[in-house]
Amino acid sequence: MQLTDRIYVAGHGGLVGSALIRRLKADGYTNILTCGSRELDLRDQGATRAFFEAERPQYVFLAAAKVGGIHANSTRPAEFLYDNLMIAANVIHAAHVTGVRKLLNLGSTCIYPRDAAQPLREDALLTGPLEETNRAYAVAKIAAIELCDQYRAQYGSDFVSAMPTNLYGPGDNFDLMGSHVLPALIRKMVDAREAGTPTVSVWGSGTPLREFLHVDDLADACLFLMQHVSEPGPINVGTGQDLSIREVAEQIRAVVGYAGELAFDASKPDGTPRKITDVSRIHAMGWHHRIALDEGLRSTVEWYLAHRGQVRGEVVVG
């Protein structure tokens, strides 16, 4: 991938897409293609095909998706399944028919079975039932991996799939009804600190174990995979390190400077008991994460405080 090649970042306005744009520009890439969801609905096959035929990107980062936390996934599963299926199918097929040189498909480690052995290995895919609270989203992401692999098998398309663990960082979704756990906790604690609220409610028991990857580390991994890797199947991207929701909530409380108590609401769903990725495959390829969680939390809180008047809610990112 050369600095002047035509590079399309699908989903440039989202958490992952905006990090990719920052990284590409910082590295000197000068021919970056973007198109917002108001101008191009990637769920529309004809519009997506027309965009690819007109713009002729040479490289594609497929970061567009409908995303959300447990509440959004469990209450609107049909939307999460349909929208993500359509986005993936339309972009991957358009990339094939217009001769895109390489495509990187971004998924999620929620593709793995709920009770898969930990750490999650890539070969655990399709070996058991999925976590019920995000099954619809996971099925769409599994279909996207399969589509990339079958275009590779039938046509020789250089399509690669990366499965990042739980992400956070600048540009995250801080809407309390649609966000993931880390940005939701940041917002809750900032609000509680400023209002003098004595207690912050945290969904679940606090015992589930989670792994968190800063989105700038993911952007680094994406460029690494685009430049150096051409293999089928999912490739895990993470830190290989996890901690409990209680521990991450306490770290956020310290960074935010909130002096109140944390009240864990066990009536709310915990989701998967543990989710940590086996990152030995990408480590063997030569990539490792660089941003420690405490450093990443500080920069994320600073970004939120500076941009909270503009933070996005849960949307389809085109």
Residues making up the annotated binding site for substrate are 188, 203, 210, 270
For the question of residue 137 being annotated catalytic, the response is yes
Asked whether the CA dihedral 113, 119, 125, 127 is positive or negative, the reply is: negative
Query: Around Cβ 201, how many Cβ atoms within 10 Å?
Result: 12
Can you say which residues are annotated as belonging to the binding site for NADP(+)?
Answer: 11-17, 106-109, 141, 164-167, 180
Which of the following is catalytic: 8, 59, 137, 151? 137
Residue 168 host element (H or E): strand 166-168
Residue 182 host element (H or E): helix 181-195
* Residue closest to 72 by CA, chosen among 180, 201, 189, 184: 180
Can you say which residues are annotated as belonging to the binding site?
Answer: 11-17, 106-109, 141, 164-167, 180, 188, 203, 210, 270
Task: Write phi, then psi, for 146 (nearest 5 degrees).
Answer: -60, -40
* Residue closest to 178 by CA, chosen among 102, 69, 45, 96: 69
Q: In angstroms, rounded to a whole number, what is the distance separating the alpha carbons of residues 109 and 172?
A: 18
What is residue 208's three-state secondary structure? coil
Answer for the pair 88, 144: CB distance below 8 angstroms, yes or no: yes
Query: Around Cβ 257, how many Cβ atoms within 10 Å?
Result: 10
Task: Write phi, then psi, for 118 (nearest 5 degrees).
Answer: -105, 145
Catalytic positions are 137
